[in-house]
Amino acid sequence: MAFTRATGKHRRTGRVHRTTARAAGVAALATTGVVGTLAAPALAAEPEVEQSGLTPVVTIGDSIADEVDAQAVAQKQAAADAAAREAAREAARERAAEAAKEAREAKERAAREAERKRLNTFVAPITASYVSTAYRAGSSLWSSGSHTGIDFHAAGGTSVHAVGVGTVVEAGWGGAYGNQVVIKMHDGTYTQYGHLSSIGVSVGQSVEPGQQIGLSGATGNVTGPHLHFEARTGPEYGSDMDPVAYLRSHGVHV
Ligand SMILES: [Zn+2]
């Protein structure tokens, strides 16, 4: 009991009171004549504690308590700082991820737009030319008796262009068409280019709008050099459609 100490700044005062009370108790015991072995060791021990320097112990204890308090405060602050730094890093990561996502989406949009533009770009097969023989014009030159395409005025050796994006499905001799190229367009239609003096593409090759596929000429059943151009729903002769309407529907002025 004598060694059970309350900690805190009022400890010394408390101890003094207890000592006084104990002394009174001992005095009371003394009057009964039962001063004995129980009380005596506790009483005897009290001065030793006092002499062993209670005040310095209390001072050190307070100092340690203050230090512990300071450490606790510092640790709490450090934890709060660490949490704040982590939150800031997380926010920065989220911003970076968001920016990367936006950049990726912008790039994808630009790519889609470029592809859409590429697929929708059409040009005339002969630059700065004109239609010299109309679609379905009658002539004894044609086996069907009717022109299945249009003729573009072109001197021999003029550059002939793919009118749009597509894949070459025929490149070679086409009988009455002479040297010809047939292209399957990206939308599933076909375009044909006849009477070429030379062919510059091969079957399976992809072509871009305006890409040169050969040179105009006078091969096949012709009276002079020009480009015979057809638009078709299929790759074969007889699936022709109005080439002027076809080109105009794709924005080409003919
Ligand atoms: Zn023709």
**46 Cα: distance to centroid of ligand 1 (angstroms):** 130
pLDDT-derived band of residue 104, with 50, 70 and 90 as boundaries?
very high
Q: Is the pLDDT of residue 13 over 90?
A: no
**127 Cα: distance to centroid of ligand 1 (angstroms):** 17
Is 175 in a helix, a strand, or coil? Answer: helix
Q: What is the pLDDT of residues 16-33, one digit of tens each?
A: 444 444 444 444 444 444
Distance of CA 131 to the CA centre of its chain: 49
**213 Cα: distance to centroid of ligand 1 (angstroms):** 18
**129 Cα: distance to centroid of ligand 1 (angstroms):** 14
Q: What is the pLDDT of residues 147-193, one digit of tens each?
A: 999 999 999 999 999 999 999 999 999 999 999 999 999 999 999 99
**37 Cα: distance to centroid of ligand 1 (angstroms):** 138
Distances 181 to 106, 135, 140, 247 between C-alpha atoms, Å: 38, 19, 24, 17
The residue with tokens 């305006």 is: 210
**57 Cα: distance to centroid of ligand 1 (angstroms):** 117
pLDDT of residue 70: 87
**202 Cα: distance to centroid of ligand 1 (angstroms):** 22
pLDDT of residue 121: 96
Residues in contact with 214: Cβ distance below 8 Å, sequence separation at least 6, in sequence order: 160, 179, 181, 193, 196, 197, 198, 199, 200, 201
Identify the DSSP state of 183. Answer: E
Q: What is the pLDDT of residues 41-60, one digit of tens each?
A: 444 445 455 555 555 555 55
pLDDT of residue 19: 46
pLDDT-derived band of residue 251, with 50, 70 and 90 as boundaries?
very high
Highest mean pLDDT among 5-14, 130-139, 245-254: 245-254
**163 Cα: distance to centroid of ligand 1 (angstroms):** 17
**80 Cα: distance to centroid of ligand 1 (angstroms):** 84
**208 Cα: distance to centroid of ligand 1 (angstroms):** 23
Strand partners for 215: 159, 198
**132 Cα: distance to centroid of ligand 1 (angstroms):** 9
Ion ligand 1 — residues with CB < 5 Å: 151, 228
State the average pLDDT over residues 230-236: 94
State the average pLDDT over residues 82-106: 96
**102 Cα: distance to centroid of ligand 1 (angstroms):** 52
Average pLDDT of the residues of the chain: 83
CA distance 5 to 17: 13
**150 Cα: distance to centroid of ligand 1 (angstroms):** 5
**Higher confidence at residue 73 or residue 141?**
73
**192 Cα: distance to centroid of ligand 1 (angstroms):** 11
pLDDT of residue 120: 93
Q: Would you say domain 131-249 falls under CATH 3.40.50.720?
A: no
pLDDT of residue 64: 78
pLDDT of residue 33: 45
Q: For residue 54, give the nearest of 17, 21, 16, 24 by alpha carbon.
A: 16
Q: Is the pLDDT of residue 199 over 60?
A: yes
Q: What is the pLDDT of residues 184-194, one digit of tens each?
A: 999 999 999 99
Q: Percentage of the chain surpassing pLDDT 70?
A: 74
